[in-house]
Amino acid sequence: MALVIPSQFNLASYFLDRPAEEHPDRIAIAGEPDPVCYGELRRLANQAGNALLGLGCGPGARVLIVLPDSPEFIASFFGAVKVGSIAVPVNPMTRATDYAYYLADSGAQVAIVNALALGEFLQAAENSELRQVIVVGSAEETPSGPGHLRWEDVVLNASGDLSAYASAATDSAFFLYTSGSGGRPKAAIHQHKDMLVTSQSFAQGVLGLREDDRTFSVSKLFFAYGLGNGMYFPLSVGATTILNPERPRAEKVLEMVIQHRPTVFFSVPTFYASLLRAVAHGAAADFSSVRLAVSAGEWLPPEIFSQFKKRFGLEILDGIGSTEMLHMFLSSRPGDVRPGSCGVEIPNYEARIVDENGIQLPRGEVGSLWVRGQSAFSGYWNKPELTERTKRQDWVVTGDQFFQGPEGYFHYFGRTDDMMKVAGLWVSPGEVENALLGHPGVAEAAVVSAITVDGLTRAKAFVVLQGGIVGGRELEQEIYEFVRARLVSYKCPQEIEFVGELPKTATGKIQRYRLRGPAGQGSG
């Protein structure tokens, strides 16, 4: 049954003003550097909104947010949407070429930028339409210059009272850039109602999030997955979010789990593997406060699921979502987890697996996953042709290959462009990677297609070893025999290359296309 969505709806009023009215002194943000209560956070967001109004940012204006996970990020986001502007959060740890693209593509005229990112950002801003930069950071970190305003001066001196703009539920509220696994990132346009849909459907409908929860997301707020986990999910029920402004490191995350004792923990498969590796090397860990551990971003190998459950007694709930759908649309359920499966549709979403003509396939057959729900993006900013290819009426084409088991559970079979055909048979990289991860010496693995000198396709594995283990021909052969005992021969990698690390996006996804070499031909 479709959710009932009011015709007039400003997400800042729902996610921030409402809980701040009900319990202004409750802690909204824990973590670093200092806790912030709901009343303080609402005031800060109102000040940010008034500052943006003073700079000419009204309805429809794009506001680029280049900030780490912090109260300033949340205040900037809600302040922008509260006045009817469009919040555009992007990676605060990237390079000038990326910032130049975001500025040119979004057409933002005001940016709120962390002082530590300012050097790279200003290189990108020289030839943009940007009018003003609000800099968040200490005075020593903030260079002076025309068009530079200090957060302390322009925001903290603004009024703390602000009425929300009378937005329609279907008005554009924020852009989220995809991670761009190939080609340039694209901005998915989301409406005010979309966060309401995902909060009620997944955060409350599946996770049962409640006001006494403390959420901790390894994935950052500029990423669609992290934005829900670390910001609007906990705020939707008056809970507390734990924020880490730093780049994720396993040891630091484990320390914060011990210190802040989250009850709901969100991460991605590669970082769950990093946590297990850190603990194996002696890092202290205590997940006794966590009642739910959630994974998304990429397929969760059963080996990582099993190792985490054995070590901490927690079953990781695997699911799948997308920037286009804002958050999860398939998920495992607490108490009903099938390792290797992404679960079933969450409430208010529908998924189907189709062939190349869009015809629904019977259970057990691999095809393209299409999904629909009320949180679907309205389109890509300034990319109508791409929007038309991705949206088929109210269905969104995910680009993922799936099959549905006899009991209705969905199983990931790889991205369309990750799949490889060996000896005329399809091979899923995830299946091979899971077999590799079963070897005690393997910490991480990525499998891609490579072309032999004869022009044949074969599977090649890139392997990160556990600390202290040295790679060599003997170990390569040992791992190969280990995998061969678990998979049919055509699925086994014909070459194993030991590497220090795997290329990943800022959100933790393995970038297999970077391992394939020129023109996707592999590196060997």
* Domain presence at residue 106: yes
Residues of the domain holding 95: 11-24+34-193
Tell me whether residue 179 is exposed, middle or buried, using C-beta atoms within 10 angstroms of its C-beta: 0 to 12, 13 to 18, 19 or more. middle
Measured CA to CA in angstroms, residue 374 lies from 77, 85, 202, 208 at distances of 22, 22, 13, 20
CATH code of the domain containing 98: 3.40.50.980
Q: What backbone phi and psi angles, to 5 degrees, belong to 106?
A: -80, -30
pLDDT tens for each residue of the chain, 524 residues long: 568 899 999 999 999 999 999 999 999 999 888 899 999 999 999 999 999 999 999 999 999 999 999 999 999 999 999 999 999 999 999 888 889 999 999 999 999 999 999 999 999 998 888 999 999 997 555 555 556 899 999 999 999 999 999 999 999 999 999 864 445 789 999 999 999 999 999 999 999 999 999 999 999 999 999 999 999 999 999 999 999 999 999 999 999 999 999 999 999 888 998 899 999 999 999 999 999 999 998 888 899 999 999 999 999 999 999 999 999 999 999 999 999 999 999 999 999 999 988 999 999 999 999 999 999 999 999 999 999 999 999 999 998 889 999 999 999 887 776 777 776 667 888 889 999 999 999 999 999 988 766 566 789 999 999 988 988 999 999 999 999 988 878 789 999 999 999 998 777 788 887 887 643 333 33
Give SS3 for 46: helix
HSE-up of 99 (CA within 13 Å, CB side)? 28
Interstrand relation of 395-404 and 410-415 (parallel, antiparallel or unpaired)? antiparallel
Give SS3 for 411: strand
* Domain presence at residue 181: yes
Q: Under a CB-based contact definition with an 8 Å cutoff, are residues 227 and 89 in contact?
A: yes
* Domain presence at residue 454: yes
Q: Single out the residue in 168, 193, 218 at which a domain terminates.
A: 193
Q: Which string of b and e fits 419-447 if b means at least 16 CB within 10 Å?
A: ebebeeeebbbbbbbbbbbbbebbbbbbb
Angle at 512 between CA 506 and CA 516, to 5 degrees: 135
Here the tokens at position 384 are 């109508």
CA-to-CA distance for 473 and 478, rounded, in angstroms? 9
Q: Single out the residue in 193, 227, 259 at which a domain terminates.
A: 193
* Domain presence at residue 79: yes
* Domain presence at residue 56: yes
Instruction: Give the per-residue SS3 of 18-30.
Output: HHHHHCCCCEEEE
What is the total count of domains within the chain? 2
CA-to-CA distance for 300 and 302, rounded, in angstroms? 6
CA-to-CA distance for 68 and 64, rounded, in angstroms? 13
Tell me whether residue 299 is exposed, middle or buried, using C-beta atoms within 10 angstroms of its C-beta: 0 to 12, 13 to 18, 19 or more. buried
* Domain presence at residue 308: no
What's the longest Cα–Cα distance across the chain? 70
Provide the β-strand partners of residue 372.
350
Interstrand relation of 148-150 and 132-136 (parallel, antiparallel or unpaired)? parallel
pTM over cut 0.75: yes
CATH code of the domain containing 457: 3.30.300.30
Give SS3 for 92: coil
Q: Single out the residue in 165, 193, 221 at which a domain terminates.
A: 193
CA-to-CA distance for 257 and 269, rounded, in angstroms? 17
